[in-house]
Amino acid sequence: MPAVMIGYARTSTTDQKAGLEAQLRDLQAAGCTKIFQEQLSSVANERPQLERALEFVREGDVLVVTKLDRLARSVADLVAITATLRNKGVELRILTMNLDTSTPTGKLMLNLLGSIAEFERELMLERQREGIARAKAEGKYKGRAPTARSQAAEALALKEAGKTPSEIQAMLGISRASYFRIIKEAA
């Protein structure tokens, strides 16, 4: 029995109609009989249609995407998705890369790509840490803006001086919730 091809298409916004249409066209041309599609950012924690596709696929099926970035938002995400597929006996095909995990070469390439992406991320983080250290040494690094809790003593002093909660919030640039959290923690 031939493998059932299941497609997944995603664009980051609803404005990207042409991009979604192109993905749908390519997935249909690849022989996908069912296609899950969504239009939302990969930064979103949930991708309900991807979850449905992963639940839908059965042993012997092939999940097809046009590009790797349409499927995974990070190396960890890619590893988790491919583990789910592998556990279900489902292969992955990425059209633009001509990558098919049903072949030994496809499995190797996917692992290499994941490793390279992880390596690049580690290098980027290392350069970022070095840049921050250099900026701190030169006195240029200010760090993160202070949180409301770092202004607790000042908020309590202003309250003691008779300022209203609204005045204190405006003076310190803190939210109402932050102000009352400071007061509660001080009590």
Sign of CA dihedral 161, 162, 167, 168: positive
Same domain, 79 and 152: no
Has residue 27 been placed in a domain? yes
- What is the chain's pLDDT, residue by residue, as a tens digit (187 residues)? 678 999 999 987 766 778 899 999 999 999 999 999 998 765 556 889 999 999 999 999 999 999 988 888 777 788 889 989 999 999 999 999 899 988 899 888 888 877 777 788 788 889 999 998 898 899 888 776 667 778 888 999 999 999 999 999 888 888 888 889 899 988 8
Same domain, 153 and 99: no
pTM over 0.95: no
Same domain, 152 and 98: no
Please tell me the distance from the alpha carbon of residue 173 to that of residue 177, in angstroms, as a whole number.
12
Please tell me the distance from the alpha carbon of residue 66 to that of residue 94, in angstroms, as a whole number.
5
Same domain, 152 and 97: no
Same domain, 91 and 152: no
Residue 150 annotated to the active site: no
- The domain in which residue 160 lies consists of 148-186
Q: Where are the alpha helices (DSSP H) in 138-187?
A: 152-160, 165-172, 176-186
Structural domain tally of the chain? 2
Please tell me the distance from the alpha carbon of residue 179 to that of residue 161, in angstroms, as a whole number.
15
Catalytic residue among 12, 41, 115, 166: 12
Please tell me the distance from the alpha carbon of residue 21 to that of residue 46, in angstroms, as a whole number.
22
